[in-house]
Amino acid sequence: MKVNDFDMHVVEHGDGEPLVLLHGGGGAGVNWDLVFDPPIEGFRVIVPDLRGHGRSTNPSGELTIRQCALDVLVMLDQLGVDRINAIGVSLGAKTMLHVATLQPERVKSMVVVSGTPYFPAQARAIMAQSKVEGRSEAEWAQMRSWHVHGDDQIRALWNWVHRLKDSYTDMNFTAPLLSTITASTLIVHGDRDPLYPVRLAVEMLEAIPRASLWVVPGGGHGPIYGAAAARFRETALSFIRESAVT
């Protein structure tokens, strides 16, 4: 579908409560197949590729997390969806913080996985090392399996992560701003996340009025895949279903 200035690839399946799944940076909507087996009973699942990712285009070449949130809101308008439940990981989680503060009334519940209110020094150090040069053949092969618009699209994503080291306005959520979120919020965070220390998850817990925190023991960044998927799936969907009746 046409969203703002680009073509957004969106997959939908199932019927019921709207549930938006937002992937991580450098990933694509197809990554959710590693966590969920569609359809998910009781939900109208909406899985976009965020701008510049996967099958979505980005002709302007510009990419911010706030813009991703604005894109999601336009997508919802075009789909005729007034209020959502959502699960976002990393970039998707940060996008949901923007969505839930830009239009709080649009979000009923959300699961924020490996999110952060701002970029700490340790994340910026890792971002500084994210360059196209030196990428392995395995990394290129993985990215080519997710992103269909050629190697320039992949280079743009890696370069975007590198430039985030100098970004101070895109992710800059204060406690008063986070306090405007009205959604029931489950914060999921690995206690070994190399990008965002768990103290940042606690900051979000203390600032968001209806928040709960699940710290995953031994979990790194995005602790929801592989052996962790089944427990995450059960916990996240139970949280959203319980939020629907409270």
User: Which CA distances in Å does 204 have to 88, 145, 189?
Assistant: 15, 34, 11
Eight-class DSSP state of 173: -
Q: pLDDT per residue over 170-185, tens digit each?
A: 999 999 999 999 999 9
Does residue 7 register a pLDDT over 90? yes
The residue count of the chain comes to: 246
Does residue 4 register a pLDDT over 80? yes
- In terms of Cα–Cα distance, which of 31, 77, 16, 74 is closest to 237? 16
Tell me the average pLDDT across 40-67. Answer: 97
Domains of the chain: 2-118+168-244 (3.40.50.1820)
Residue 229 CA to residue 223 CA, distance in Å, equals: 8
- Res. 110 pLDDT band, cuts 50 70 90: very high
Q: pLDDT per residue over 208-228, tens digit each?
A: 999 999 999 999 999 999 999
SS3 state at 108: strand
Q: Cβ distance 43 to 67 under 8 Å? A: no
Q: pLDDT per residue over 67-107, tens digit each?
A: 999 999 999 999 999 999 999 999 999 999 999 999 999 99
Residue 91 CA to residue 23 CA, distance in Å, equals: 7
- Res. 24 pLDDT band, cuts 50 70 90: very high
Please state the pTM of the whole predicted model: 0.97
Does residue 244 register a pLDDT over 90? no
The number of beta carbons lying within 10 Å of the beta carbon of residue 98 is: 21
User: At which residue do the structure tokens 């929801």 appear?
Assistant: 224
